[in-house]
Homo-oligomer: A and B are copies of this chain.
Amino acid sequence: MQKYVYMFEEGNATMRELLGGKGANLAEMINLGLPVPDGFTVTTEACTKYYEDGEVVSPEVEDQVKAAMKKLEENTGKEFGNPDNSLLVSVRSGSRASMPGMMDTVLNLGLNDEVVDGLAKASNNRRFALDSYRRFIMMFGDVVMEIDKSNFDNIFDSKKEQKGIELDTDLTAEDLAEIVSDYKEIYKELTGSDFPTEPIEQLLLSIRAVFRSWNNPRAIYYRRMNNIPASWGTAVNIQEMVYGNIDDSCGTGVAFTRNPADGKNELYGEYLMNAQGEDVVAGVRTPSPISQLEEQNIDLYNQFKEIGDKLEKHYGDMQDLEFTIERGKLFILQTRNGKRTAQAALKIAVEMVEEGIVDKKQALLTIDPNQLNTLLHPQFDEEALEAATPIAKGLPASPGAATGEVVFTAQKATEEAETGKAVILVRDETSAEDIEGMHASAGILTVRGGMTSHAAVVARGMGTCCVAGCSDVSIDEEACTMEIAGVTYKEGEKISIDGSTGNVYAGEIPTVEAELSEYMQTVMEWVDEIRVLKVRTNADSAEDSTIALRLGAEGIGLTRTEHMFFAADRILAFRQMIVADNEEERRKALAEILPVQQSDFEAIFEVMKGKPVTIRLLDPPLHEFLPTAEADIQELADALDMDIDRLKAKINSLQEINPMLGHRGCRLAISYPEIAEMQTAAIIGAALAKSDADNKIVPEIMVPLVGDVKEFEFLHEVISNVADKLIAESGKDLEYHIGTMIEIPRAALTSEKIAKVADFFSYGTNDLTQMSYGLSRDDAGKILDVYIENGIYENDPTANLDLEGVGRLMKISAEEGRLGKPDISLGICGEHGGDPSAVEYCHELGFDYVSCSPYRVPIAKLAAAQAQINNPR
């Protein structure tokens, strides 16, 4: 028979998946000989089974729980439900990953009218017994029976009011007895039955409630935010009660072994005497800082410090402890690796190595790569921020903070930015046309669109702060105003937005630049020593490249050439090219673009000083470059000296039903090889101009959207013809590579053939994901909401690489690509390139590099180092 219940003595810290984090650590501490009340854990598998069985706790699990209770009675010498020698327990959830505040707890379980009398006698403290009882009824009613907590709070508060007292501790035993009586009454009124008096019934109902709470909306939301699979389930810990609420020789508290805000090596926490459970954080009485315990009870303090040090050494990480003092005796109720700020994480990691507690590899594993994000972007000045109140909240789409004047069009953003003003671009949603304006803006705020909307993706790529999907905002484009909560903001008024929280503020809040701390630098040195996966960046300009280099990029994995075409000095020529009627006209327009495009590449090559640079040929459908508003079309017609009806007909003829699956990528270059020829000439020309003995440039030309080897072969010939001719004419030596994006499922499935003729593959996981799922990122918003709500998707696959489907295509492609060309270079350049779990996967597949937006370079590097530590290659 499957074992669903483990006594603490049977477990250890490695059994996290089965026992949950809390249960595994309680077991570990018991085995370390620490003062931990005894108990047992109902496994996560029992939770999974509960859902598989249709939300029923099976008789098997019930039987094992009962047997474990018997064992606990033996171990403690107490008896569940026996008034003369009562065993009370706590019931607490504990999932594999820490989910603070998400799950529910029941304390003092086992009490009923008889037991409470016994407890009063045994403790010689009726008040304590009744205090425990009222807490139990309230928690049981709230958590197990889902009675709105305010029902209990109202009774409790009116009793305090009636008695004219402020502190819970001032309530007498009699008061508490009345409260208990009222609690039982409201319980019966709202549930239709008496409060259950049978301890084992209380226990089983509580276990079921913990299982059920795994799927409460808060838990689902937390999992969604933190990419925790619903399938993991939660364990339940049943533990003998110890009491912080008997009298003033008792107390309860929480503490970190180091300061979680700044990382300083000091005990950091709070405690409250004569208190239980949530009293510490409830805010009714002000808890004391843990340092005060040193004055109050030096022995206890030292004992606690010693245990903290021991656990920190044992786990190799800063610990977050819960403790209870019962009549002067210390009990540890929980230990776990402590959450900390990014700054603290870096300092703690570096100092723990200096202190000899861990080695570099262990230290690196204590840092969450995603967390570094906050350290790499400008932030609001903290004092100023505290004084500010948000006027609206959207999605934290691209981190950082920005303050500036509101504008409502991309064009206005560009104009104002040119005068040196900081602007916040506010749009319903953005499109490719807005790119230049987005680039010119200090921050972007959109009304619609999710975390992977155009605005969010582009902003993250640019490192520009962005709040997306802020539906509190309503724009009146004609009036050039927006309204938030009834207040109108005009163009030019100042607002501030925080892309790390999604908050929007009225007025200006000063920002401070992020500095790379010495700890960050030390950590990055270790990272660079350890990792084998290279980290490049996606950068479309010399500016982006400079930022990325500063952040440690080892090359460029993706330069998108299309953004360049939107600049004012070339968009007209580019549009002329698009509306041209024949090859000759197209070539004429392209000839105008060639020198400016080449100068862009020269600037990038100059910054990158011989590091690898991959440049992708034009990718988006041509209609994205054409105006859509009537006035803009008229303006273009005038500029091109073209009949407006002819221009409209042309624009119309370029419309597509599914542009994502239409005339774009290499399909453009196959239709109009002259575009690829111009781009090749610009790339090779720039490389020839900037390559020298010190900085040998080996440009990598990347063909997008290949689905069949013949598409690649066709363009390989077009590209190499132009390149070879230019190189021959220059009389110089220049090596160059031609490779392809793997972003179409069929390309992944035919990689062996393609690899035979390609120098490199770069996985474009954005499109590969969309096509593998048959789901357009632009249209996925409302679908994803419903899916995640219903537990169908664990998370947004356009943000987190789907290893099962998309990852499998990458694996097939990488393995078979190497059959075609054993030394083919493999990289990833989709948004997922900066996603730590994708970085880990690319490491496992033996990729050469990942490429991500500049600000994610340190994150990807740390993830790459962690991947190498966990799975050396």
Chain A residues near B (Cβ < 8 Å): 656-663, 667, 670-671, 705, 707-708, 710-711, 714, 743-746, 749-750, 767, 770-776, 778-779, 782-783, 786-787, 790-793, 802, 804-806, 808-809
Which residues in B have their C-beta under 8 angstroms from that of A662? 775-776, 779, 783
Residue A804 contacts which of B657, B670, B750, B770 (CB distance < 8 angstroms)?
A: B750
Q: Is the CB of A670 within 8 A of B770?
A: no
In the docked arrangement, what's the CA distance between A711 and B662, Å?
Answer: 27
Q: Is the CB of B745 within 8 A of A663?
A: no
Which residues in B have their C-beta under 8 angstroms from that of A657? 659-660, 776, 778-779
Q: Is the CB of A670 within 8 A of B792?
A: yes
Q: Is the CB of A809 within 8 A of B776?
A: no
In the docked arrangement, what's the CA distance between A705 and B776, Å?
Answer: 13
**7 tightest A-B contacts by CB?**
A661-B776, A746-B805, A658-B776, A662-B779, A744-B774, A657-B778, A745-B745
Q: Is the CB of A707 within 8 A of B745?
A: no
In the docked arrangement, what's the CA distance between A772 and B812, Å?
Answer: 15
Q: Is the CB of A714 within 8 A of B670?
A: no
Chain B: CB-nearest residue to A672: B786
Which residues in B have their C-beta under 8 angstroms from that of A746? 772-774, 802, 804-806
Q: Is the CB of B658 within 8 A of A805?
A: no
In the docked arrangement, what's the CA distance between A660 and B658, Å?
Answer: 7
Tell me what chain A mostly uses at the interface: helix, strand, loop, or mixed.
helix
Q: How far is the CB of A595 from chain B (nearest CB, A)?
A: 29
Which residues in B have their C-beta under 8 angstroms from that of A661? 658, 660-661, 770-771, 774-776, 779
In the docked arrangement, what's the CA distance between A770 and B657, Å?
Answer: 13
Q: Is the CB of B670 within 8 A of A805?
A: no
In the docked arrangement, what's the CA distance between A379 and B770, Å?
Answer: 45
Q: Is the CB of A670 within 8 A of B787?
A: yes
Which residues in B have their C-beta under 8 angstroms from that of A778? 656-658
Which residues in B have their C-beta under 8 angstroms from that of A743? 774
In the docked arrangement, what's the CA distance between A779 and B771, Å?
Answer: 16
Chain B: CB-nearest residue to A744: B774
In the docked arrangement, what's the CA distance between A670 and B708, Å?
Answer: 35
Residue A774 contacts which of B656, B710, B745 (CB distance < 8 angstroms)?
A: B745
Query: Given known contacts A657-B659, A782-B671, is B710 in contact with A805 (CB within 8 Å)?
Result: no
Which residues in B have their C-beta under 8 angstroms from that of A771? 661, 745, 771-772, 774
Q: Is the CB of A671 within 8 A of B775?
A: no
Q: Is the CB of B714 within 8 A of A792?
A: yes
Residue A792 contacts which of B708, B770, B776, B791 (CB distance < 8 angstroms)?
A: B708
Which residues in B have their C-beta under 8 angstroms from that of A792? 670, 708, 710-711, 714
In the docked arrangement, what's the CA distance between A97 and B772, Å?
Answer: 37
12 contacts between A and B (CB under 8 A): A656-B776, A661-B771, A662-B776, A707-B774, A708-B793, A710-B791, A710-B793, A743-B774, A745-B774, A746-B773, A750-B804, A771-B772
